């Protein structure tokens, strides 16, 4: 039995601690917003935040992240009001949508670190695959979110 803190809720889990966080979320907790795309640290569809950093949940054994602050797409905001989510709607980013939870979690973590990222910052940080090719709009969405952040701050 071990305890994970996900979206500010503690979950006591009686499962194999080697289970990757991705499958704990999907199969045990039915939090299906976090997606499986490759399972080998290539695509980023499974991106969540652990202590504010973007982490590929298919690569993290659940038993290794006790007492860490885990945030999934379901916990990014209660009402889709996070700046990145709002910007994504405004910039019409998603197509099929499958990669977008991961993209949004990665983008939100980038903005936490660099509130006004340059194109180069975005190139470096956004390494997730989108098979529908929404990249141009992801870039636009991140700049838009940065502008929203600046507006909030002023």
Residues that bind other proteins (CB under 8 A): 5, 8-16, 19-20, 23, 26-40, 42-43, 45, 69, 72-74, 76-77, 80, 85, 88-89, 92-101, 104, 122-124, 126-139
Residue 42 as a binder of ligand FES (CB under 6 A): the answer is yes
Contact by Cβ (8 Å): 109, 127: no
Nearest to 4 by CA among 93, 75, 68, 73: 68
Rg (CA), the chain: 15
Q: Which is nearer to ligand FES, 89 or 96 (CB)?
A: 96
Instruction: Lay out the site mask for ligand FES across 80-99 (x = CB under 6 A, - = otherwise).
Output: --------------xxxxxx
**Dihedral of alpha carbons 56, 91, 137, 110, sign:** negative
Under rule CB under 6 A, residue 38 binds ligand FES: yes
The correct pick among 25, 55, 58, 146 for binding ligand FES (CB under 6 A) is 58
Pairing relationship of beta strands 9-13 and 69-71 according to DSSP bridges: unpaired
Q: Hey, how many other C-beta atoms are within 10 angstroms of the C-beta on 10?
A: 9
Question: Which residues of the chain form contacts with ligand FES (CB under 6 A)?
Answer: 36-39, 41-46, 56, 58, 94-100, 130-132, 134
């Amino acid at each position: 039995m071990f305890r994970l803190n996900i979206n500010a809720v503690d979950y006591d889990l009686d499962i194999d601690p080697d289970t990757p966080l991705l499958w704990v979320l999907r199969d045990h907790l039915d939090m299906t917003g976090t997606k499986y795309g490759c399972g080998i640290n290539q695509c980023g569809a499974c991106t969540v935040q652990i202590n504010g950093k973007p982490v590929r949940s298919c690569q993290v054994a659940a038993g290794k992240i006790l007492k860490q602050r885990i945030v999934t797409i379901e916990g990014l905001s209660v009402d889709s009001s996070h700046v990145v989510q709002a910007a994504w709607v405004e910039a019409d980013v998603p197509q099929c949508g499958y990669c977008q939870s991961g993209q949004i979690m990665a983008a939100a973590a980038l903005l936490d670190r660099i509130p006004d990222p340059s194109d180069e910052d975005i190139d470096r940080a956004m390494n997730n695959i989108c098979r529908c090719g929404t990249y141009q709009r992801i870039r636009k969405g991140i700049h838009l979110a940065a502008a929203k952040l600046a507006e909030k701050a002023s």
